[in-house]
Structure 1
């Protein structure tokens, strides 16, 4: 070009960015001041050449004039015209260059290149270097490579010509040539020491040599204004490589010419600002900037943000639009969250969950809830009616009443025995006994309540809800069954608005009492209305375990920590050898400690306790979960693991919950294959097949890289409980991983929660698979 600016074309380097994306080639020009200096030299050279040509022509004319032969003179002039390009005036040359530049800038690349070639043909002042740049602009990389080779041989702009030759080599996929020319550029770099662009050349050479720290250091320490757009792009890419995401965002936002909305969106997604990420992706889509990538990225980011239905709709639409290409852009890799297994991060998650998790808080309520004894008056009534009918010779009727009394008596005896087992924390045994009894007496409200409570303590909220609801329908005055039916409905994502409305109407018609206060307080907690529930803190009822548990929850939620601590302390006095009361004590007393202080205090506290461990081996699920979590936080999982292994080896029967505790401990201790084996044994051999156990089996299968097994278990889990969002979400991710977006969209559409966050599962872009597909496009 006429102003002899040195231009360099930058292409994407897959090793320099984590989020690969298509991008137009960018052309780098030197700063205006240096261009002006070079233009002066260039046109000065042109002037010298013109003067020399005029002098040579004059000498020839003088020599030939003596012959006075016009024909010979004409012949010589024609031969001279054939031998070299005609000289044109400097102003015309400038106009041609300006026109070529304009044509290129307005998109007429073919005409621009032809004009560049004409300029090079007509004037020696147009160098091989500039011709090479013109060819690069037209994406004639093989031709440009040869032109830059000639420029280097002619000692013309050797450093920058070598850089451009290296870039051309990348375009034509000649790795050996790329290495040769980038090394050559580095060898010529010292000759540019006095150039104002020295730092810039050093940055480019370092970047292409994958010396990203060197390139980043040069970018940070240069004060030369050349190529600000390119320098900011490079800075953003390198900072993104090292996860300096805020610096990368800052670099991109400094570019005023054309905002790179797509790259900004991905960076904002990295730092967890999903709203800004989606905003930039929407802009990129409007601009038709990488539509497939942008639309797919938007659906994934909506998924990470918990907007599952929106993500499902977008994923289905983009899959219908690009049925094959959609799987080649961002291949999915499903994994468990790293924070689950890191003691410090796990502590943060656990302490937050203790505060916010409905599942855990409701399970604590169920743990301390009372079992109900049979109605003896009803049995006595059956006997009296039977005897009365005998006296009036109604034998058939008398037999029916006496059979009912006998059956009721047997059921009542069975209930009593089952409750004894439950109170001894043999929950699964009690549950099995109650299941048998409910087959004998299916219309026994108290029986259904007790059975439901054992299911709730085992963590099987689907069955718990079924029997609480049945109990309430059999006896509308059994309000606690109704309240717990509402609470379990919430846990299984079942609509309970009508049931709650009926229940509240019924309670409002009752006279005020201790029991009515209890039921209303439980409903306030269910509705997350702790301000209304706060009145419970001032009640002076008998210090029952359930009442104390409610004071702990309400006190922690309303910042009445002294009340919560007092209630927690009383629970440990009532149950000194049970694990859960001490876990609750830890939550209230150490909840505000720093991360290292918390772990230290928990460890010291647990070492002073004398647990029987019956509740760990046979008791409610909440005990096992919280105890395992505290061992993860304090770094004591190995010791718990070995304790459970020993107990399991010494038992022949009733090992379901021991093995369940061991499997969960192994999972958190990163013994994934062992955890997977134990969950399979638990599910296949011991027939523990509730939705949550099936789900945990899928978690272990995923961790152990048995993703097909995980899919099968999740299918079973969501069949057990169709509203189990965790199972559906995990299943959707695994479907996406195996290139079944249609199946994934179906599962995500069923999650009726616009802020859903999985406890265990997450997904990333499989960069290894992405690189493999890039290297084997036809594979």
Structure 2
């Protein structure tokens, strides 16, 4: 026996240098990423050589031979597993594998660690043998065999796991656990294998084993990371953070940061998750990092990070899909369109399905209160434009004749509400008849029934298409209804029929800006026409010059027309208020609306704007009680224009009720009015539909807009669009698509309709149509007020409810159960 041990020791010493030489080759292979099979061949040769030595030294003692063979085989398997793990870059519990990893040099150190331990044990056995302690020496060699066998089984299990042979991996890890070395580590990996097989009972068993044996891993460089992993799998997320934020060594810092990032995501702390993952030096983490940037709304960095990742991984279609979604969020619609076209041509299935929904900012009362004073109502400066449209004068052929008609029946109003057209000089019976029709229409306007007025104006425009005045008045009505597509068409026609109708030209530019039209031709024409028009007095000319400057550039150098003109017109006060709003001069805005209140006494729109101006900039939460009193005691003026007037009164009334917490009261008020209404219910239903949307009663809103369209003939694009908003809120996606398609046909430049349709098409997998629609939004600086999308997590939730492993999530840093 003594001779056998001596022979073994000598031969093992002789192989020591060879083992180190092989280790250096392994290191080179790892760094240069040579073929994995070549590496396995080298390891196999080493294993055969070691086996040959053991057999030749212990040919007559099969038991001892087997133990030493297991020891040397363990070294070979360790090298093989480490090489495999390095090529797969697989952290414990991660999606690609479960072998604990750190940086390359640390991995090589761990690769050589078993050899160092074995050398120390062999030296100990040799000393015992040389001093005559034969039995003690044999006991040490038994430990060498047991340790090597446990290590070999662990690494064999790791290799099998990487190769997705989960059942075999569990058997290997079971044998490693039986060996008693690093039980927690083997148990965690066995648990992960069970999870991949969908065996939740075994998964829980192994995690419990790992948890019980954690104290035996104390002091190892991976202890804090392993401890956190075990707690993670036990769903003790908060407790798992502590060891990750306070590691016991500098080893596995990258893996710890990755897992800590996931923990923060579990707690909804996207910013700390981002900060942790930013510390990762692993290029593969750029994908997850880009998605985290997207989660916190930094779409520019998200897009750049994902683009950097795709340079190194151009065929990672999951990342390509992710970038397409980021492009939509970042409003890079051209890029999103091109990506969808490419993915559709390649027939690449959607990695991330989306669900189209409504923009949550619409319903955030605190956000609405904070931004109320800067409320755009769908477009930059749109509230200011709508105010100008509301107070703009109507045109007639003969002002005196019109006043006489309007005065019939004690219907009185000031002369500043009408403008006389230069066509007044074209006298004749036809002009007089048209003038009377216009006056009848204006009577309906100032009675508050704009729908009746529109019938007069539109009918006249069709019957007498050569007169600019008729197109101007019809365009003004459509603008007050919020149908800016038709308003732009009528205003443009009015201006090109009569280039002295500067109001029509400026209003065409304003309506065109709502619908993203190129109005440069009209602007250039107006700039030229001003020089040749001699029919305008000094005040009118100065006012129109200032209004034109404001519409084109957003600012005006000429202010305060009411203070400098003898004839105080409503449009002058309105423009003074708009200029004051634009510059933040609330005192001047309040004064302007007070003057308008004198002209339009008990007018709802004027009353609301005056109250808003008087309370401008104050905390809406503090003044909500004051507005609640106004709503509930009926302090607001006559609600006639709410029921029969244009869209501005309804928008202001409903939105103010929303931000001040009075929406439920207003809905009840409108419902009561609907019951007793004996004239036209259209305006009441329009207000109700909008109120239902803000109150998140989408089914009621959808039903209301359906009635407006099907029963009461409200066939305008705006009504259909709001119907689609209600349909999406209620989850009636097919109805939403139908309404949006009609709305897009009626209003082909409606970007909101295009955007919503593009999202819905992508949602149902019609990528070609989605790509085409996104392309039309490119370079338009379009921001949707109404629509947004989310990742469809229904399949993930279904998988979790069935107890299966969670499928990959775009917002997850790495794939964990």
**Residue in 2 that maps onto 1:501:** 524
Q: Which residue of 2 aligns with 1:705?
A: 731
Per mean C-alpha deviation after superposition, the further-off stretch among 140-149 and 448-457 is 140-149
Counterpart Cα distance in 1 of 2:580 and 2:400: 40
State the SS of the aligned residue for 1:764. strand
Which one of the candidate residues 343, 348, 352 is aligned to 2:370? 348
Aligned to 1:47: 123
The correspondence for 2:494, drawn from 471, 477, 482, is: 471
Cα distance, 1:240–1:58 mapped onto 2, change above 3 Å? closer
Q: C-alpha separation between the residues in 1 aligned to 2:177 and 2:296?
A: 45
Q: Which residue of 2 aligns with 1:185?
A: 210
Q: Distance in 2 between matches of 1:168 and 1:372?
A: 81
Query: What's 2:687 paired with?
Result: 661
Q: Is the 8 A contact 1:340 1:346 kept in 2?
A: yes
Which deviates more from structure 2 when the two are superposed, residues 723-732 or residues 468-477?
468-477
Distance change in 2, residues 1:541/1:561 (3 Å): farther
Does structure 2 conserve the Cα–Cα contact (< 8 Å) formed by 1:590 and 1:601? no
Q: Alignment partner for residue 334 of structure 1, among 345, 348, 356? A: 356
Question: Which residue pairs with 1:559 in the alignment?
Answer: 584
Map of 1:745-756 to 2, 5 A cutoff? 745-756=771-782
1:39 positional shift: 6.7
What is residue 460 of structure 1 aligned with on the other side?
483
Q: 2:620 and 2:779 mapped to 1: Cα distance?
A: 31
Q: For residue 192 of structure 1, report the CA deviation from its aligned partner.
A: 4.2
Alignment partner for residue 458 of structure 2, among 422, 429, 435? Answer: 435
Q: Specify the SS of the correspondent of 2:396.
A: coil
Deviations 1:675-726 (A, max 9, x none): 1001001011211111111100000011111110000000000101111111
CA contact (8 A) 1:285 1:295 kept: yes
How far the C-alpha of 1:136 sits from its partner, in A, is 3.8
Count of aligned pairs:
686
From 408, 422, 427, the counterpart of 2:431: 408
How far did 1:585 drift?
Answer: 2.7
Partner Cα distance (1:659, 1:603) in 2: 22
**Which one of the candidate residues 648, 654, 657 is aligned to 1:628?**
654
Q: Is the 8 A contact 2:176 2:183 kept in 1?
A: yes
Find the counterpart in structure 2 of residue 364 from structure 1: 387
Cα deviations by residue, 1:740-771 (Å, 9 ceiling, x for unpaired)? 11111111222254432111100011111355
Conserved 8 A contact 1:524-1:533: no
Select which of 159, 166, 170 maps to 2:195: 170
1:27 aligns with 2:103: no
Q: 1:732, 1:743 within 8 Å by CA — same for their partners in 2?
A: yes
1:333 alignment partner, SS class: strand
CA shift digits 1:354-405 (9 cap, x unpaired) = 49633332111110011122237999xxxxxxxxxxxxxxxxxxxxxxxx94
Change beyond 3 A, Cα 1:197–1:476: closer
Compute the displacement of 1:251 (Å): 0.8
Q: Does 1:255 align with 2:277?
A: no
User: Does the CA-based 8 Å contact 2:500-2:533 persist in structure 1?
Assistant: no
Question: How far is the alpha carbon of 1:217 from its aligned partner?
Answer: 3.2
The alpha-carbon distance between structure 1 residues 510 and 148, as it changes in their structure 2 partners (threshold 3 A), is: same
Distance 1:467 1:268 in 2: 46
| Larger CA deviation: 485-494 vs 448-457 | 485-494
Contact 1:307 1:755 in 2 (8 A): no
Q: Which residue of 2 aligns with 1:274?
A: 299
| RMSD between aligned residues | 3.5
User: Contact (CA 8 Å) 1:568, 1:585: kept in 2 or not?
Assistant: yes
Query: Is 1:650 aligned with 2:676?
Result: yes
CA contact (8 A) 2:702 2:727 kept: yes
- How far, CA to CA, are the matches of 2:773 and 2:233 in structure 1? 44
Cα distance in 2 for partners of 1:769, 1:527 equals 50
Instruction: State the shift of 1:738 in Å.
Output: 0.8
What is the match of residue 741 of structure 1?
767
**How far 1:125 sits from its partner (Å)?**
8.3
Secondary structure, aligned partner of 1:677: helix
The 8 Å contact of residues 45 and 125 in structure 1, kept in 2 or not, is answered as no
- For 2:43, the equivalent position in structure 1 comes to none
Q: What residue ranges of structure 2 are gaps of 5+ in the alignment?
A: 1-73, 403-426, 808-817
1:318/1:754 Cα in 2 relative to 1: closer, same or farther (>3 Å)? farther
Residues 1:502 and 1:773: Cα distance change in structure 2 (over 3 Å): farther
Q: Structure 2 vs 1, CA of residues 223 and 190 (structure 1 numbering), >3 Å: closer, same or farther?
A: closer
Deviations 1:98-130 (A, max 9, x none): xxxxxxxxxxxxxxxxxxxxxx99965854334
The whole-number CA distance in structure 2 between the counterparts of 1:528 and 1:602 is 35
Correspondence list, 1:262-341, <5 A: 262-288=287-313, 291-321=316-346, 323-325=347-349, 327=350, 329-341=351-363
Counterpart of 1:169 in 2: which secondary structure? helix
Cα deviation code 1:616-649 (max 9, x no counterpart): 1111101101111111111111111111111112
Please, which runs of 5 or more residues in structure 1 have no aligned partner?
14-21, 60-83, 91-119, 380-403
Residues 35, 593 of structure 1: alpha-carbon distance in 2 compared, 3 angstrom cutoff: farther
* TM-aligned CA distance change 1:645 to 1:137, over 3 Å: closer
Cα-to-partner distance string for 1:162-192 (whole Å, 9 max, x where unaligned): 1121122223333222111011111222444
Q: CA 1:753/1:651 → structure 2, altered by over 3 Å: closer, same or farther?
A: farther
Q: CA deviation at 1:234?
A: 0.4
- Return the match for 1:161 from 178, 186, 200: 186
The TM-score normalised by the length of structure 2 is 0.77
Q: Rate the CA distance shift 1:429–1:362 in 2: closer, same or farther, 3 A.
A: same
Residue 748 of structure 1 aligns to a residue whose secondary structure is helix
CA–CA distance in structure 2, aligned partners of residues 565 and 378 of structure 1: 35
Deviations 1:195-243 (A, max 9, x none): 5654333211111122222212332233532311110110112212333
**Aligned to 1:421, which of 436, 444, 463?**
444
Cα distance in 2 for partners of 1:600, 1:279 equals 47
How far off its partner does 1:573 sit? 3.6
Distance of 2:399 and 2:282 partners within structure 1: 85
